[in-house]
Amino acid sequence: MHPRLTFALAVIEALAIFAYAVSGFIEARKRRLDAVGTFMVALVTAFGGGTVRDVLLGRRPFYWVEHESYVIAIFALSLFAPFTLRMASRVFSERALLVADAIGLGLFSISGTSIALEAGMPGFIAALMGVMTGVFGGILRDVLCNEVPLVLRDSHPYATCAFAGCGLYLLLVRLDVDSVYSVSIATAFILVARLVTFKLDVRLPH
Amino acid sequence: MHPRLTFALAVIEALAIFAYAVSGFIEARKRRLDAVGTFMVALVTAFGGGTVRDVLLGRRPFYWVEHESYVIAIFALSLFAPFTLRMASRVFSERALLVADAIGLGLFSISGTSIALEAGMPGFIAALMGVMTGVFGGILRDVLCNEVPLVLRDSHPYATCAFAGCGLYLLLVRLDVDSVYSVSIATAFILVARLVTFKLDVRLPH
Amino acid sequence: MHPRLTFALAVIEALAIFAYAVSGFIEARKRRLDAVGTFMVALVTAFGGGTVRDVLLGRRPFYWVEHESYVIAIFALSLFAPFTLRMASRVFSERALLVADAIGLGLFSISGTSIALEAGMPGFIAALMGVMTGVFGGILRDVLCNEVPLVLRDSHPYATCAFAGCGLYLLLVRLDVDSVYSVSIATAFILVARLVTFKLDVRLPH
């Protein structure tokens, strides 16, 4: 890949991980967790989805083992979580965090599906593992904080957007679309679907 | 095996999986989860026990990866969960669901024990893994729905029946009883023990 | 190792496992769980941390698979949990349990770090896995009992002591200190740090 593209991708990825970690900080703050508790919740939120997928696929090394620096960065941010949150809310508006989280949802879900396909999973199972990669971090965060996971009870389409995008990705793969395009189109689809349905306040029946 | 017997076994297994999934639907309904949340809870209830066992044993592929059609069926049922539940409660009485769940408990516990024994686990550990196969799906369901797991707090013997049956199975294996008989006798034992103790309202001390 | 030292270590280890299991019994009692529920909670508390670490490292066999007798002992104690607790509170004062738990925290965290280092993990990740080995059993116990994990919300330094001790251990390893000394010094550090901060009522900000 072109080095500038590689760099752009790394930045987007870091942004998505940061957005997931911040949602962990916010939840930890609500529960008045101490610094170590905050660190663990943020870590689980950021890397839980990919780790569960890799355990299911028997895949090693984990992303966070290969990217020790991200773990150390989250640790450092956790020590100053109240300060980090103030900064995050000043630099990034709530809307920016929503967008970053939606980028994460798209990126993690599609990369998860792609990894599961490569590992030989059948289509529907691969899509399921992709969605799990995107949403399981948040589920573990809420389980640790003793709440019914937001993604399960929120009637805004979240996992549903991820599911639709993973389905689209499977279709593009079957149509032999070049992987650069299939990944970007499906990721963008999830991002847009999440933001548009949120903005229009679309609700799922329950 | 005789093809008719194979078919009968597949039907019993499907029935048990369906019973576990329905208990997921019911719990999801109580918590007013949306369709995707309902799907995830039902999936975890139906396949969680076997998956945890296989992760512990380092065993692949998972049952649900090999039986993609079951996953798709649960997905389809989740989309119409309120309808599914109405149908389930019309076609199957509460008693029928109790029986199907008890069949699942017996089937999953004994097959889990047998798989763990084959993987070289010592007897008590194999029985423990068998019980986990039978009850862990329900535990994960209740953790996701933010409740103290029913199996841990219900004073009706449930895991206890599974444990006794797995112990009986170990005994039969040690006595070199043919596997067809040892499996069916131990499974039937769990089924009967669960139904009889439930009917007689036997309670464990706590 | 000298056989007397081996014996002493085995006794310390058994003591630590017993302390962890007892904390499971106490939690189970609060929730009025039945015998099987009590057994499962105690088991998860005692062996959950090491099991999660081993799953992450892809390491087999698990400690509890190799030490079936500990599992059977916890099972036997669970059947008489109310009696066990009365005995435990008579023979061992609350202070003794606190000390035993602190020994467990030190022992499990440092041995976890050492195992992760041997498996080729980078330093910070190894320390993280060590802390997880020490605290994850308690986290799973509290999740099963539907509480925000004590270790995440308690403002007394607990995981923090473990973290500091694992950091010290990494330093000693890097300084090529003989493993007998590095392990004992770091373990003792965690034990003392936990007891001193608890006694002085040191609190983390949150």
pLDDT at C69: 95
Quote the pLDDT of residue C135: 96
Q: What pLDDT sits at residue B95? A: 83
Q: State which residue of chain B sits closest to C57, comparing Cα positions.
A: B58
Q: How many helices (H) and strands (E) does chain A have?
A: 10, 0
User: Which pair of structure tokens corresponds to residue B15?
Assistant: 């029935």
C149 contact residues in A (CB cutoff 8 A): 37, 144
One DSSP character per residue, A75-117 reads HHHHHTHHHHHHHHHHHS-HHHHHHHHHHHHHHHHHHHHHHHH
Domain locations in chain B?
A: 3-199
H-helix or E-strand containing A56?
helix A35-57
The tens place of each residue's pLDDT in chain C, 206 residues long, gives: 567 777 887 888 888 898 899 999 989 888 888 888 899 999 999 999 999 999 999 999 999 999 999 999 999 999 887 777 777 777 777 788 889 899 999 999 999 999 999 999 999 999 999 999 999 999 999 999 999 999 988 888 999 999 999 999 999 999 999 989 999 999 999 999 999 999 999 988 76
Of C35, C62, C64, the CB nearest to B204: C35
- C-beta atoms of A152 and B34 within 8 A: yes
**Residue from the list A143, A160, A205 with its beta carbon closest to the beta carbon of B143:** A143
- By Cβ distance, the residue of C32, C62, C71 closest to B124 is C71
Residues of A at the B interface, defined by Cβ within 8 angstroms: 55-56, 58, 121-122, 124-125, 128, 139, 143, 146-149, 151-155, 158-160, 163, 204-206
- Contact call for C151 and A37, based on CB within 8 A: yes
Closest CA to C137 of C42, C205, C9: C42
Give the gap in angstroms from C-alpha A137 to the nearest C-alpha of chain C: 16
Alpha-carbon distance values, B149 to A29, B69, B161, C47, C48 (Å) = 27, 28, 17, 19, 17
- DSSP notation for chain C: --HHHHHHHHHHHHHHHHHHHHHHHHHHHHTT--HHHHHHHHHHHHHHHHHHHHHHHT--S-HHHHTHHHHHHHHHHHHTHHHHHHHHHHHS-HHHHHHHHHHHHHHHHHHHHHHHHHTT--HHHHHHHHHHHHHHHHHHHHHHTTS--HHHH--S-SHHHHHHHHHHHHHHHHTT--HHHHHHHHHHHHHHHHHHHHHTT-----
Reported ipTM: 0.90
Residue A100 sits at φ, ψ, to 5 deg, of -60, -40
Min mean pLDDT across A81-95, A103-117, A182-196 is at A81-95
**CA gap A131, A49 in Å, rounded:** 9
Q: What is residue B169's DSSP assignment?
A: H
Query: Which of C58, C124, C204 has the CB atom closest to A34's CB atom?
Result: C204
Which position has the token pair 């408990």? B105
Task: Enumerate the residues of chain B whose CB falls inside 8 A of the CB of residue C36.
Answer: 151-152, 157-160, 163, 204
Give the C-alpha distances (Å, rounded to integers) separating B20 from A36, A191, B41, B136: 37, 34, 10, 11
Residue of B nearest to A138 (CA): B144
Q: What is the pTM of this model?
A: 0.93
C155 min Cα distance to partner chain A (Å): 6
C contacts of B159 (beta carbons < 8 Å): 36-37, 40
Whole-angstrom Cα distance, residue C146 to residue C126? 29
| Helix A123-144 with A94-118: angle, nearest 10 deg | 140
What pLDDT score was predicted for residue A1? 58
Rounded-to-integer distance, Cα A190 and Cα A70, Å: 25
| Least CB–CB distance from A71: residue in C124, C139, C163 | C124
Of the candidates A27, A59, A24, A29, which has an alpha carbon nearest to the alpha carbon of residue A42?
Answer: A24
Neighbours of chain C (3+ CB pairs under 8 A): A, B
Tell me whether residues A151 and B33 touch, CB distance under 8 A: no
Nearest-CA distance A33 → chain C (Å): 5
10-residue averages of pLDDT along chain B (206 residues): 74 89 90 88 96 95 94 92 77 81 95 95 96 96 94 88 96 94 95 95 80
Q: What is the mean pLDDT of residues A104-127?
A: 96
Chain B CB contacts of A149 under 8 Å are: 37, 144
| DSSP label of B156 | S
Asked if pLDDT for residue A91 goes beyond 90, the answer is no
Which member of B34, B55, B71 has the closest CB to residue A204?
B34
Task: Find the closest chain C residue to B52 by CA distance.
Answer: C55
Angle A42-A47-A52 from CA coordinates, rounded to 5°: 130
What amino acid occupies position B156?
H
SS (H, E, C) C45-73: HHHHHHHHHHHHHCCCCCHHHHCHHHHHH
Q: Which of the four pLDDT bands, split at 50, 70 and 90, describes residue A206?
A: low
Chain B residues lying within 8 Å of A125, measured CB to CB: 64-65, 68, 71
Q: Please give the DSSP secondary-structure letter assigned to residue B121.
A: -
A29 → chain C, closest CA residue: C206
* pLDDT of B2: 67
Min Cα separation C113/chain B (Å): 21
Structure tokens at B110: 């004994």
Of B197, B123, B199, B121, residue with least CA distance to B159: B197
> Under an 8 A CB cutoff, do A152 and B36 touch?
yes
CA distance B156 to B204: 6
The whole-angstrom separation of Cα C92 and Cα C96 is: 5
DSSP one-letter code for A62: -
Whether residues A151 and B37 touch (CB distance < 8 A) is answered with yes
Q: How confident is the model at residue A3 (pLDDT cuts 50, 70, 90)?
A: confident
- E strands in chain A: none
d(CA B2, CA A122): 29
Question: Taking all residues of chain A, what is their mean pLDDT, rounded to a whole number?
Answer: 91
Give the residue ranges of DSSP H helices in chain B: 3-30, 35-57, 63-66, 68-79, 81-91, 94-118, 123-144, 150-153, 159-174, 179-199
CB spacing of C146 vs B148 below 8 angstroms: yes
Q: Do B144 and A139 touch (CB under 8 A)?
A: yes
Q: Nearest Cα to C106, choosing from C98, C116, C118?
A: C98
pLDDT in tens, B150-198: 998 888 899 999 999 999 999 999 999 999 999 999 999 999 999 999 9
Residues A39-85 pLDDT 10s: 999 999 999 999 999 999 999 999 999 999 999 999 999 988 777 77
Residue type, A10: A
